[in-house]
């Protein structure tokens, strides 16, 4: 074991630094997994995993967690390489389902993840979450929270502008026009990071596609529906209508996720269309601010609005973890009421397991209501047959925003990738 090991690395590291850190981390543990006091961890939970690590170390005197955090794009590009080269950390962020290079199915299928089915929390997972935490009936992902995608508003900025959150499509466009007229765009949009491009689209697809057809995914899987011949076109048209109406700040493609947070946090926009996880990051940039999650309307019938809400990214254990005992101890801490509540409170989310004693933050009252009323659909990519569909969508949306592609072309390309299967 190395004699001096930093327990906290910078929140954002370069690709080289992350690889080096994780490589060093796998060398730090022992081969048997029982004697080392050092755990290596790679996480995308920027701004929230830090407190969980501190609590875990406090609960386990002498244990040190050497961890890195990074954005989703950077992380997804690296984790598969690290796993295949034997340089991956003991524990790592893993997304539910099958929609991206770091998702459960993608990493479990080649045997990169340890089976967690025998852990005490696995049988307690609700069916909706269990279905995307498992591969071939075995649990590989310790999913600790549920998240939603919608509009997160800066309450102080709304009051200054004299505006209230809209609940119909017509009012949404009026809201955008009024906000623009006051010199404060309605929403920050950080499309320079390509994973961000999907969020507005998902928020609109939830209602335009699944509002009238909850079986759309089953029809896609049966070859009875396509993106290009479905209301996905309606949602994409509405996305671009929002852009033309001035709902977003200038130059979304020149604005990254970090910068978009700054715009919403400081009131330079009235809000941001994001996952509820952004609330913690906004509070970090503006501790005195009040931020509230609301559904993004896509029709003029508020009762028809559906919210994308699903299991968020969890944690998997490297099948070749150098410190497997400590790795299991960490994911079990994450899934304990203490660890889970700490995580979701910091992220502004909701726990994945019942009976944790968690008190819902007022900022998430509307999201909790939609979940309770079953007015949600899973994040669209979680049940797609391969990660290529999402990657095509993400790059395609950037190309549409830069006038290098069209909605029709992108949706047809997504159909082609979908039909290619797993």
The pLDDT tens digits for 340-355 are 999 988 877 889 887 8
Averaged pLDDT of the chain: 89
d(CA 347, CA 69): 14
CA distances from 248 to 63, 101, 296, 303, 308 (A): 46, 29, 14, 26, 21
- As annotated, the residues of the chain forming the CATH 3.40.190.10 domain(s) are 38-143+313-351, 148-310+379-421
CATH class, range 38-143+313-351: alpha beta
- Taking alpha carbons only, the member of 188, 186, 237, 187 closest to residue 208 is 237
> Given this model, what pLDDT does residue 306 score?
94
pLDDT exceeds 80 at position 128: no
CA distance 129 to 401: 33
What's the CA gap between 298 and 166, in Å, rounded? 11
User: Domain 148-310+379-421 falls in which CATH fold?
Assistant: D-Maltodextrin-Binding Protein; domain 2 (3.40.190)
Burial of 183 (0-12, 13-18, 19+ CB in 10 A): exposed
Mind listing the pLDDT tens digit for each residue in 45-89?
A: 988 899 999 999 999 999 999 999 988 878 988 998 999 999 999
**Entry pTM:** 0.74
| Higher-confidence position of 118 and 70 | 118
Q: Across the chain, how many H-helices and E-strands are there? A: 17, 13
pLDDT at 35: 59
- How does pLDDT run across 228-281, given as a tens digit for each residue? 999 999 999 999 999 999 999 999 999 999 999 999 999 999 999 999 989 988
pLDDT at 280: 84
């Amino acid at each position: 074991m190395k004699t001096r090991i930093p327990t906290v690395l910078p929140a954002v590291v370069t690709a080289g630094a992350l690889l080096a850190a994780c490589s060093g981390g796998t060398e730090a543990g022992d081969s048997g997994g029982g004697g080392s006091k050092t755990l290596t961890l790679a996480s995308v939970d920027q701004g929230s995993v830090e407190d969980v690590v501190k609590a875990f170390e406090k609960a386990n005197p002498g244990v040190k967690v050497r961890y890195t955090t990074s954005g989703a794009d950077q992380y997804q590009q690296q984790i598969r390489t690290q796993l295949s080269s034997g340089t991956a950390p003991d524990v790592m962020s893993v997304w539910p389902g099958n929609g991206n290079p770091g998702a459960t199915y993608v990493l479990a299928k080649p045997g990169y993840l340890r089976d967690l089915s025998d852990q005490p929390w696995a049988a307690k997972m609700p069916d909706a979450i269990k279905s995307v935490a498992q591969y071939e009936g075995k649990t590989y992902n310790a999913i600790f929270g549920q998240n939603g995608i919608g509009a997160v508003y800066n309450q102080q900025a709304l009051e200054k502008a004299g505006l209230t959150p809209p609940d119909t499509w017509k009012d949404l466009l009026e809201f955008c026009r009024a906000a623009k007229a006051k010199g404060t765009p309605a929403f920050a949009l950080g499309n320079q990071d390509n994973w961000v491009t999907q969020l507005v689209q998902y928020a609109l697809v939830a209602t335009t596609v699944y509002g009238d057809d909850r079986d759309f995914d089953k029809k896609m899987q049966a070859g009875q529906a396509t993106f290009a011949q479905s209301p996905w076109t309606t949602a994409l048209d509405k996305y671009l209508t929002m852009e033309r109406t001035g709902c977003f700040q200038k130059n979304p493609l020149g604005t990254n996720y970090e910068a978009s947070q700054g715009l919403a946090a400081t009131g330079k926009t009235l809000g941001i269309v994001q996952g509820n996880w952004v609330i913690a990051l906004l509070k970090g940039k503006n501790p005195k601010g009040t931020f509230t999650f609301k559904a993004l309307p896509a029709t003029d019938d508020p009762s028809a609005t559906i919210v994308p809400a699903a299991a968020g990214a969890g944690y998997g254990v490297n099948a070749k973890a150098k410190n497997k005992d400590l790795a299991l101890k960490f994911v079990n801490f994450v899934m304990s009421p203490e660890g889970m509540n700490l995580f979701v409170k910091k992220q502004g989310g909701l726990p994945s397991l019942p009976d944790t004693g968690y008190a819902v933050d007022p900022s998430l009252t509307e999201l909790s209501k939609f979940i309770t009323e079953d007015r949600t659909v899973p994040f669209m990519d979680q049940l797609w047959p391969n990660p290529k569909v999402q990657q095509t969508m993400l790059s395609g949306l950037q190309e549409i925003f830069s006038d290098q592609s069209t909605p029709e072309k992108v949706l047809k390309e997504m159909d082609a990738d979908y039909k290619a299967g797993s």
